[in-house]
Each structure stands twice: as C-alpha cells, then as structure tokens.
Amino acid sequence: MIATNVKELIHAFGGTCAVAQWLDVGPSTVSNWKADNAIPNGYHLRIYLEAKQRGVSIDPTVLGFKKWPSKRSSARAVA
C-alpha cells in the first residue's frame, strides 16, 4: 500500500483512535490532521519509521516533501 494523503496513512495504521493511542494524543488531534491533510513535523520520524516497519509506503508529499531526500544529502545534513 502507498499512502498518498494523511487520511490513507491513518487508515493504514488502524484508524484515528489507534493512531491517537499510539502517539498519546487525543483522537480530535488526529482528526484535525486528517481534516488539514497535514501532520506536525514532530511526529514525522515516528510515523515514517512505523510505516517502514509495517511495510506501508508513504508518498513524500504526505510528510511535506516534494520528493524523499537522497541518502547522500541526508548524510551531509547529519554531519
């Protein structure tokens, strides 16, 4: 599965309540993300890693990227 928007990503993770419980936020918070089609930056890494573990592909636009950063540019950013 490839999640192309926030609603699809949340559905792939088990729905609003499951995501809210996993991230320790209220369901209304997750519902707002779906309505805005945007997830705050502070949750991106956890969501990305969980998606990788579950075998869920995420379109980069779901997390605010035009395309995924290359591994080479990511390594420079860390250094």
Q: What is the pLDDT of residue 1?
A: 81
> What residue numbers bound the domain in which 52 lies?
2-78
Is 35 buried (19+), middle (13-18) or exposed (0-12) by CB count in 10 A?
exposed
Q: What CATH number corresponds to the domain at position 66?
A: 1.10.260.40
Q: What is the pLDDT of residue 76?
A: 57
Residue 20 has pLDDT above 70, yes or no: yes
> Which one is predicted more confidently, 19 or 71?
19
Q: What is the pLDDT of residue 52?
A: 94
Predicted confidence (pLDDT) per residue in 43-79, tens digit: 999 999 999 999 999 999 999 888 887 876 555 555 5
Residue 25 has pLDDT above 90, yes or no: yes
Tally of structural domains, the chain = 1
Q: What is the pLDDT of residue 53?
A: 95
61 Cβ neighbours under 8 A, 6+ residues apart: 4
Structure tokens that stand for 66 in this block:
């035009």
Q: What is the pLDDT of residue 14?
A: 97
